[in-house]
Amino acid sequence: MSLGTEGTRPEDYRYWADERVRFYDLDLMGHVNNVAYTIYAESGRAAFLRHIGFWTETGRRQNVIARLEIDYRQELKYPNELRVGLNVQRIGGSSFTLGIGIFAGAVCVATARATLVRFDAETRKAIALNDEDRSILASYLAS
């Protein structure tokens, strides 16, 4: 089964965050453990959410992950500098989906898709994306 090439080019992404492979990211075989990729995706996602104002430490409007999918594309070893690219793939009523690409140099080592739900931190319930949210997200829509 082929994974296809969706999201494997740097030009597919509108926002970038830097990351690195840490020695403790390795498994017994000496390559990066699959769990580390979720951390790289999380770091990029957190940087993006701060950047667009969707996360502040005391904000009532927050985000929770409803779904995370990862496709592992290339073996990754230590040491390595990474770049995590993000774009918006879908804007729903109270949720949005981010596309995430993890790159070592020009090589895409993994792609991910994360669906997040806007969430009221006090009521603990999903809330609708407002017009400002939609406008911000739309500026990062994948081409």
- pLDDT tens per residue, range 40-79: 999 999 999 999 999 998 999 999 999 999 999 999 999 9
pLDDT of residue 1: 43
* pTM for this predicted structure: 0.94
The overall longest dimension of the chain from CA atoms, in Å, is 48
Torsion of CA 60, 40, 48, 104, to 10 degrees: 180
Give the domains, in start order, of the chain with CATH numbers.
10-138 (3.10.129.10)
Look at residue 3 and tell me whether its pLDDT is greater than 80: no
Question: Exposed, middle or buried, 143 (CB in 10 Å: 0-12/13-18/19+)?
Answer: exposed
Averaged over 128-140, what is the pLDDT? 98
Place of tokens 């070893």: 77
Look at residue 35 and tell me whether its pLDDT is greater than 70: yes
